[in-house]
Structure 1
């Protein structure tokens, strides 16, 4: 297993790197904080003997001098620590940008940062990343996708100041490239890009938002559609849950429309759960799951990977609601009633035992669950 050390571990890309490392089963990465970077001796101690250092810390937005100075200073601080390291890391990777050297304060500072690190480590792996998107990006900072998603989730419309072509890569794929993740998962270290204009991106996300407000699932016909929709969903959770489902009643009884999917693969399954028993205790990197309780009483608990706060929903068969599991959130459903719990589940893909996209971890603890804990 690869031992990682990360700068910028608490940022957008840093979180995706840590989630992916956990999904692969690697040890929790060593975090090199900005306060650590002040002291080369502390940096050297943190990274001593690790397999791979990934430098993610940087400044994306702000005053030009702040952006330029911040990126260079952070790289210089890591370089000083690398020079003092008794057992140097086998690999040093810099999360650079395709904008490096483009004449802007940001682009030129990224190029200077790369040169600074290469002076300390001539074998530096300089990865030039395109525009990234993904769950829980920071609006107005981490890119236009996060900004559009935030606006749409709040019921506002994105404003287009200019239209240009973008190449978008999901943050998990970028994380896989940076850490040298093994092949075989839902990630792709080749970083397949989506070529799209800003206008078309806004249109597509607005379509997802309009469909999802009705409790429906938009057409998810390729991996970028799934990941863009998951990115949008991350901005709706938990405030817009549970989801009210359309219900129709007449003298014969009631009919509830549990899932309307506009395209793509999918699978529906049901389970019964004994009183006091739970199912789940896992998270997914890309798979979408919807829970609808048909009979009984349940508590659905969720925790974002790497965080401590647990969010709980009490739902029952007498309610026509769904709770969609956000990607990269550990979740479980517990029977809190006195009778068997009957639950309907919908997933956006047919289960593949060779690529289950199901990572065992307990909701109540950051410690991974024992083998077999996943339902």
Structure 2
């Protein structure tokens, strides 16, 4: 299948092309502002499907709204008619087509062109009125407040919020792309005369800002956002894509003594915390027990033994562990336990606890195994 994509270098275009190639759609005609107009005719002659994503969002001159959103659409359709190509055509419109502003009027005009084209030629047309689209590769300080805020906050730049209570409707780029590929395969989500992305997130601007700032703070608190919330998960992925290129990494606080070191890595209020423990050769760590706190130990380098003893028993259990065998050992409540490095190199253990450490209630009691 030969697929023509206008606006190929734009936000949606780049994401669509990447995923089409992931799905082995490799015969793609990419058309953008810099493409020779002569090629448009060739592409329109051969295309089996058209994604018309090109358009003007924020031109230098208001007259360019109609030029980019109406005149080019007209040129595209004339080329298809010239070669009697009645392949399906999808157009990227906007919910602003319902509004009385220059951008909305130009989008509405483009929609009408497509509907008239369908009546004239019998071609299948798919008109998508997208709300605000967010995700990776969107230009900040252009037409997406989410992109702008993610970029500015991650770069320690100021943002301007005129009304934090304004309600926004947002669609995530991956959901948009999945819908467009469904349309390509004849399974579009059509509601009356328009097509829609099924998953739309409704949230206030203030809530978006608060979330993005919490992402920035999470490096200091070692917290991870609530990935059970689909919008938070998508927004966090978007935020990370705007990190400064020299700020992908961040340091952790390591507690070091003669026995080795202990470093907290991730803290999640609902899921506990993950830490990295390094023990020097011959060192024993632990010798304590818990009422409710439980842990999982995974030795990833070196070798050692984890010992357990129930408080009312003299029986000692031993679990020998090694980085040569990826094996998780549960640390049950009510058992005092320790871990000893039996090797001649540092032993590295990944430790998970079911709760983040609370110095006011550590639930950790010394008792030798």
TM above 0.5, yes or no, is yes
Q: Does 1:27 align with 2:26?
A: yes
Q: Does 1:129 align with 2:130?
A: yes
1:206 to 209, 213, 217: 213
Q: Does 1:68 align with 2:69?
A: no
Residue deviations 1:114-158, cap 9 Å, x none?
A: 122333334321111111100121112131100110110111342
SS at match of 1:260: strand
Give the Cα–Cα distance (whole angstroms) in 1 for the partners of residues 83 and 220 of structure 2.
53
Shift of 1:176: 2.0
SS at match of 1:31: strand
- 1:279 maps to what in 2? none
Give the Cα–Cα distance (whole angstroms) in 2 for the partners of residues 139 and 247 of structure 1.
36
Give the Cα–Cα distance (whole angstroms) in 1 for the partners of residues 58 and 32 of structure 2.
19
Shift of 1:9: 0.8
What does 1:222-233 correspond to in 2, within 5 Å?
A: 222-233=229-240
What does 1:1-375 correspond to in 2, within 5 Å?
A: 2-27=1-26, 29-36=28-35, 38-39=37-38, 42-62=39-59, 63-86=61-84, 88=85, 90-122=87-119, 123-163=124-164, 164-180=166-182, 190-212=197-219, 216-236=223-243, 238-262=245-269
Residue deviations 1:151-175, cap 9 Å, x none?
A: 1011134211234111110012112
Unaligned stretches of 5+ residues in structure 1: 184-188, 269-293, 296-341, 347-375
- 1:317 maps to what in 2? none
Partners of 2:265 and 2:273 within 8 A in 1: no
Distance 1:37 1:119, change over 3 A: farther
Residue deviations 1:275-315, cap 9 Å, x none?
A: xxxxxxxxxxxxxxxxxxx87xxxxxxxxxxxxxxxxxxxx
Partners of 1:149 and 1:235 within 8 A in 2: yes
Give the Cα–Cα distance (whole angstroms) in 1 for the partners of residues 170 and 132 of structure 2.
5
Give the Cα–Cα distance (whole angstroms) in 2 for the partners of residues 85 and 165 of structure 1.
45
Give the Cα–Cα distance (whole angstroms) in 2 for the partners of residues 113 and 21 of structure 1.
25
SS at match of 1:217: coil
Partners of 2:149 and 2:159 within 8 A in 1: yes
Q: TM-score, normalised by structure 1?
A: 0.63
Q: TM-score, normalised by structure 2?
A: 0.64
Shift of 1:343: 12
Give the Cα–Cα distance (whole angstroms) in 1 for the partners of residues 147 and 141 of structure 2.
7
SS at match of 1:211: helix
How large is the Cα RMSD of the aligned pairs? 3.1
Unaligned stretches of 5+ residues in structure 2: 187-195, 276-299, 302-347, 353-369
